[in-house]
Chains A and B, each alone.
Chain A
Amino acid sequence: MAGPITYRLILLALLPVVGVLIYMEGQKYDPALIDFQSAGYQADPMVSFFPDEMAGYVRRGPVRSYTKENLHEYVNGHAEYFISAGFRQLAAGEYSERGTEASGPELVVDIYDMGKSIQALGIVADESGGRSETLGTGATGFRSGQGVSFVKGQYYVRMAAYSKKVPLERVTGQIDSRIGADADPFPEFARLPALGEVVQTRFIREGYRGLDFVNNIIEREYRVEGKTLQVFIFPGSKDEVRRLSEAFMNYFRQSEINYKEIQKKDQRIYEVHDPYEGDWILLPLDDSLSGIFGYYNDKIIDALIGKQIAIK
């Protein structure tokens, strides 16, 4: 009978053999193990957003692409901000006026794919300081000293002009139409009721109306019967909606803010008597949380409830 020492010696002798076998197996290429197609990025769709020429300005060289891995090479110091906001890819193109020999580009177009429209809107909200507007093309964005930024579906477009001659309105229109209608629309906007004249639509990334716990809000301001009101929507998951509803209730209790529970259209709504906001409406449903600040009446409340139920 072989003793334990014999077994140990046999196992020890086998170790180099096992090692060689593992090494040989590791050298075989198995395409199922590494799917380069899924890890890489299909750049073509975004390249098509950049015309060879627009409004007399010709593209200089190929469109450059950046992913999460190398975004810092282009937006040094700001890459983390974009990545944490949902960034997927950046495509950048440079343009100069046809027939000129400018040493540098006169127009730089950056298109960021932020994954979701709401995330792209968040970038515009941040960078416009909350003062985005509806541009001539109908897109939401803002003009800065030397350019235009706007959101189109999940794309955040940032155009910087280095010459006053660049016709930014026309260029905006061309890029906007190139991206086209297929870009992820704002599904959350479908929850906003048609109440009257729309004054503006905003995305508030954090601290809505000074409430620390209320972030990522879409607000649309309307003018109805000569009065101004704001409808807000929180576009979150069921869990997020539940947590936010609870946070509101805690806030009401801690701040001694009274509210009244009302049943309307078989839905429970709250009429909040707020010393700082005046009276307002909070409508927490299973899968959405919305409300009305400023002016409201039964018809307006019904329209908001009706819209939320219809989307459900």
Chain B
Amino acid sequence: MKRRDFLKTSVLATAAFATPLSAETKTEKPLVRAYRVLGKTGLKISDISLGTGGLPSASMVLRAIDRGINYMDTAPDYGSAEEYIGEAMKNIKRDKIIIATKFCTPYSYPNHLQLGSKKKDYIKALEDSLSRMKTDYVDFCFVHAIGESNNKNAEKEKKRLLDEEMLSAVDELKKAGKMRFLGVSSHGPDNMEDLLLTAVRSGHFDLIMPAFNFMKAPRLPAVLKEAHDKGIAIVAMKTLAGAKDMKIEGKGEEFEPAALKWTLSHPEISGLVITIKNISHLDLYLSASGQKFSAADQRTLDRYAGRFGKEYCRTGCNQCEPSCPEGVAIASTLRFQMYFKDYGMEKKALLSYARLERKADKCFTCESESCSGACPYGLPVSALLRDAHGELTFTV
């Protein structure tokens, strides 16, 4: 696969400009070095692909494609991402690029279509995405964030997953050539493995996208294996385990590639999506493409785990939540804090937290501290929650 085949040649044609540039100043840029098959769909994607949350411009899409990335994961509520993809579209060979979006609206995060949405809502959501992206079709559309807080009822979430209104809309959209495959994503925290397994066994889904990293949810590998055996593709997200800044220890350049290589070392995984906001991200993340996970990488991850293991709330885990008498949405609160502090997505974090029904304000007056010792990874839950509430509301 020639990476520049993804772009229309006009983009890369160089004019005979008056100022020739010295070849000796050119630096080699990391490129995609491996493509993997997406299960039964037969599509092949770059092992490291473009997550578009916080995408800064159309040019960033073209830079990523020029480096060989051919899969982009977007959503209507990822800022202006779909509009930027649309702006870039005139320079993209559409049939060479794989685009995945979500059944969602752009108005306020999280606005994924919930149970009770009608067939026409699903159709309109996708048609609006197509319009923003200036394309006739998407390759994948996701039922997104299955198991997110406010949806603690597993049966209700299973109904959303297999909703007749949604499935009927998917049929119609596929017949009209507006979408090709159906996907489901989950970063938990509630029932992530069970819900993904339900999706895998339902026969309706072609791709699952779980949060998957070296601080992983214990039962997830079994889900991945079953999906893989059935030919259902797996794309991983949240692969940096909190994306804490390792540069404070002077080891920043090593951590991200090591974490990505760990995820890609699992044969069930077709690829991963990671937020790429600038050229440095592109250089850093693509240095892991096609590379083997090494003992040195493991040592780097061990250092990260040692440094941040008691700070990072494992995505997809909610084992501590039953211990809280107030029903505080612990995992979601800490995930939104991660968006705020580590991902630089302040507004998304604030809005998401504002919509939680049971916030951590209760932790300031809690006398039982029954969450103490409830985290299997030893996190000081109540202290972290008080800190998160302060950051996500600007008050105490």
Contact at B12–A275, with CB atoms within 8 Å? yes
Which of A144, A253, A276 interacts with B11 by CB under 8 Å? A276
Task: Contact check, B347 vs A210: say whether CB atoms are below 8 A apart.
Answer: no
- Give the distance to chain B from A262, nearest Cβ to Cβ, in Å: 9
Residue from the list A78, A211, A212 in contact with B394, Cβ < 8 A: A78
A75 touches B (CB below 8 Å): yes
For chain A, residues 180 to 207, give those with C-beta under 8 angstroms from any C-beta of chain B. 204, 207
Contact of A273 with B17 at beta-carbon distance under 8 Å, contacts A78-B394, A212-B280 already known: yes
Tell me, yes or no, whether A208 is within 8 Å of chain B by CB: yes
Q: Across the interface, which residues of A come within 8 angstroms of B108, CB to CB?
A: 145
* Contact call A76/B390, Cβ cutoff below 8 A: yes
User: Looking at chain B, what size class is its interface with the partner chain?
Assistant: 35 or more
Instruction: Give B396's nearest chain A residue, CB to CB.
Output: A76
Would B12 and A75 count as touching, CB distance under 8 A?
A: no
> Residue-by-residue, is B270-310 near A (CB-CB < 8 Å gives 1, otherwise 0)?
00000001111000000000000000000000000000000
Query: Known: A77-B390, A207-B278. Is A258-B17 also a contact (CB below 8 A)?
Result: yes
Contacts of A273 in B (CB 8 A): 14-15, 17
Q: Which residues of A contact B63 (CB under 8 A)?
A: 210, 276
Please state if B66 and A276 are interface contacts (CB–CB under 8 Å).
yes
Contact A253 B57 (CB under 8 A): no
- In the complex, which residue of chain B has the Cβ closest to the Cβ of A128? B347
B18 touches A253 (CB 8 A): no
Report the minimal beta-carbon distance from A295 to chain B, rounded to whole angstroms. 13
Whether B348 and A209, one on each chain, are in contact in the complex, defined by CB atoms closer than 8 angstroms, is no
B26 at interface (Cβ–Cβ under 8 A)?
Answer: yes
A contacts with B, residue count (CB < 8 A): 40
List B contacts of A252 (CB < 8 A): 21
Tell me if B395 and A75 are in contact (CB < 8 A).
yes
Within 8 A of A (CB), among B18-75: 18-22, 25-27, 54, 56-57, 59-60, 62-63, 66
B residues near A131, Cβ cutoff 8 Å: 79-80, 347
Q: Which residues on the A side are within 8 Å of B280 (C-beta)?
A: 212
Q: Knowing A78-B394, A254-B25, A275-B62, say if A145 contacts B355 (CB, 8 Å).
A: yes
Interface residues of B (CB under 8 A from A): 11-12, 14-15, 17-22, 25-27, 54, 56-57, 59-60, 62-63, 66, 79-80, 108, 277-280, 345-348, 350-351, 354-355, 387-388, 390-391, 394-396
Further pairs besides A129-B54, A145-B354: 9, Cβ < 8 Å? A74-B394, A76-B395, A110-B394, A128-B347, A144-B350, A210-B279, A211-B279, A254-B25, A275-B14
- Write 23 A-B pairs (CB below 8 A) sorted by A numbering: A75-B390, A75-B395, A126-B347, A127-B350, A131-B347, A145-B108, A204-B56, A207-B56, A208-B56, A210-B60, A210-B279, A212-B278, A212-B280, A253-B21, A253-B22, A254-B25, A254-B27, A258-B21, A259-B17, A260-B17, A261-B18, A275-B12, A276-B60
